[in-house]
Structure formats: structure tokens, C-alpha cells
Amino acid sequence: MSIGIFDSGIGGLTVFKSVAENFPQLDIYYLGDTARVPYGNKSKDTIIRYSIECSQFLINKFDIEALIIACNSASSYAVDILKDKLNIPVIGVIHPGSKHALEVSKNGKIGVIGTYATINSNSYKKTLIQLSDKEIQIFQKPCPLFVPIIEEGMIDSEITKMVIKEYLQEIIEQEIDTLILGCTHYPVLKDVIKQIYPHLNVVDSSEVIIEDIKNLDINFNENGIRHIFITDESSSFHKLKDILVGDVKTEKIELSELCTL
């Protein structure tokens, strides 16, 4: 038995890396739907369909015991549907990130950054309000340029710092003390964001999701298999894969293996 992780493409490797480091004996299979990336500018119905197809591939191929949705756009729209449809535990990234943000925020002013789909869904806002037992203020901001910057490997460049300031200054001025990275690409920029805004509690779902996984009733002592699947070749994928997880076996599959399910 094993655990499956899927994302629209590259960003979910931050989750893969975190899970692999925390559970060295767990068999982990990752699917990056690089042929159809990004999900963040797709419609709700399309994101749900893609999420079902990715999930079914991992279940049918590897009989996974649990599924992690390492994509904020998919977590925003598909997590409840997948929980109802599948007979295994399903963990999205939004609930763990929201819960942790409420735990660390002192003034109740929380910023959320992500793709247009994640921000427009208000999934973080709804979850934060639902989980909070006190009055909070939530400030959201889409940051569409972060993904291409990361995929170009421009992590610590002056251009990147300028873009971070351009996007975040508006919500920083609202005196937020906590920032949720609402896209699994964004943890790659976490250290740079902290350099610019050292007062911020930066919430990285790839880290806080670990506690939810520990609570799963699955076998964590397996063979330590690590296998990554992609639906299209991408130089940016391999570049970030090498940075985050190193020499993990990667295999391209045909998109028809997902779409015909």
C-alpha cells in the first residue's frame, strides 16, 4: 500500500519533498499534470474533472491508501467531491494551512496569496472564518507572476524581490502578521519573503500538512519507494525537481491514460 500526491504540475513537489523527508519508509507516488498546467486559470468544472482523473490514475495504478491534493486550486474546488467519491482518506492543503495560520496569528489579520482560481474561490477565507472562534480580518491577493518566476529558477533575483514587494505591499499595509502561501509553488520563495518581511508568520502548507498525515490510519513502514509521473515533458519541471527532490525516478505518461478513465 502507498500514498498518492497530485498537482497540476511542479509546485506540489514542495509537498512531495516534505512528506518524503518526514516519512522515509512510506511509498509515495506523485502525479504532476504538466500537460494541462496551470489549473489556476481553468473553470471550476474543469478543475474538478482533472482532479478526479488524476486521483483515479493513482488509485487504479498503485492502490493508494490515502490521497494528498498538493494543489490549492484543486483543493479549493474538488476536495469535498473527492472525499465523497473515493473510499480512501483525502487531504487538501487548505484546511491545514488555515488552521495553522489561526494558531500563529496574534492580531487576527491574515493575508492569503495564491492563483486567481484559489483567491476567487474564497476557499481560504471561508475556511478561516469557519475555523476561527474570534473576529479575524482576511486580506487576499492573487500573485500570478510568482509561478513563472519560480519555474525560471529566479528565486533570489532582484526582479523577484521587486515582484514580491509589488504584490504584497498592499496587504502588508493592512498590518497582517501572518501570510498563507496559497499555492504549492510559493514555498520556494518563502525565505526571500521572510528576508523582506521578517515580522511575518509565513504559513507553508507543505510543512503543516504533515500533522494531518500522521493521523492517518495507514502503514507508514513500507519500502520507501519514490516515483514521479508527469503528463508532458518540461524543462522547468526537471529543473525544480532537481532543486527540491534530486534524483527521484520520473516517468512520462500519456495524457490519454488519465482522460480515458
Instruction: Please state the domain count of the chain.
Output: 2
- Co-location of 88 and 98 in the same domain: no
Query: What is the pLDDT, as a whole number, of residue 242?
Result: 86
* b/e code 203-217 from CB counts within 10 Å (16+ = b): bbbbbbbbebbeeee
Catalytic residue among 54, 143, 183, 259: 183
Residue 116 structural domain: 94-205
Q: What angle do CA 230, 236, 238 make, to 5 degrees?
A: 55
Q: Give pLDDT < 70 ranges for the chain.
A: 1, 260-261
* Half-sphere exposure (Cβ direction) of 187: Cα atoms closer than 13 Å: 24
CB 114 within 8 A of CB 185: no
pTM for the full predicted model: 0.90
Active site residue 183: yes
Distance CA 196, CA 202 (A): 12
pLDDT recorded at residue 260: 59
Q: Do 177 and 212 lie in a common domain?
A: no
pLDDT value for 191 = 95
Read off the amino acid at residue 74: A
Specify the pLDDT at position 241: 87
Same domain, residue pair 181 and 217: no
pLDDT in tens, 195-235: 999 999 999 988 999 999 999 988 888 899 999 999 998 87
* CATH code for position 128: 3.40.50.1860
User: DSSP per residue over 103-153, as a string?
Assistant: HH-SSSEEEEEE-HHHHHHTHHHHHHHHH-SS--EEEEEE-TTHHHHHHTT
Which grid cell sits at 235? 524543462
Q: What pLDDT sits at residue 35?
A: 92
